[in-house]
Amino acid sequence: QVQLVESGGGLVKPGGSLRLSCAASKFIFGDYYMTWIRQAPGTGLEWVSSISDSGNTIYYADSVKGRFTISRDNAKSSLYLQMNSLRAEDTAVYYCARNHGGGGLCPELWGLGTLVTVSS
């Protein structure tokens, strides 16, 4: 069925790097804006980054700008998040989401998430 599956999470030391992936299936990946959202333990949702269908337009939350890089490979139906200079406060479940085709950004289809833990 239509789904998103995240991978690449794990335990990393402060200052380290990690690359998350999101594999899309059963829809035309290249037709949609995509978004990463995270949720720290016991807290609410925090938007991280979004990328246009072509990859030409990218948005970042202030908290990750300059440290994280979003990218996509439409031929592989995959979304990525390169995370550098990781901090303890980046510890969270990271969700990949497909955005609704209408105006603005509305994450309509979510993956199950992958856990990133930043700790020494």
Partner 1 sequence: SYVLPQPPSVTVAPGQTARITCGGDNIGRESVHWYQQRPGQAPALVIYYDSDRPSGIPERFSGSSSGNTATLTISRVEAGDEADYYCQVWDSNSDHVIFGGGTKLTVL
Q: Which residues of this protein are in contact with partner 1, per CB under 8 A?
A: 35, 37, 44-47, 50, 59, 61-62, 95, 100, 102-113
Considering the complex, what minimum distance in angstroms separates the CB of residue 45 from partner 1? 4
Q: In what order do the strands lie in the sheet with 68-73?
A: 3-7, 18-25, 78-83, 68-73
User: In terms of CB distance, is 66 or 103 closer to partner 1?
Assistant: 103
Cα atoms found within 13 Å of the Cα of residue 75, Cβ hemisphere only: 0
Is residue 19 within 8 A of residue 81, CB to CB? The reply is yes
User: In terms of CB distance, is 11 or 112 closer to partner 1?
Assistant: 112
Is residue 34 within 8 A of residue 96, CB to CB? The reply is yes
User: In terms of CB distance, is 103 or 120 closer to partner 1?
Assistant: 103
Considering the complex, what minimum distance in angstroms separates the CB of residue 83 from partner 1? 18
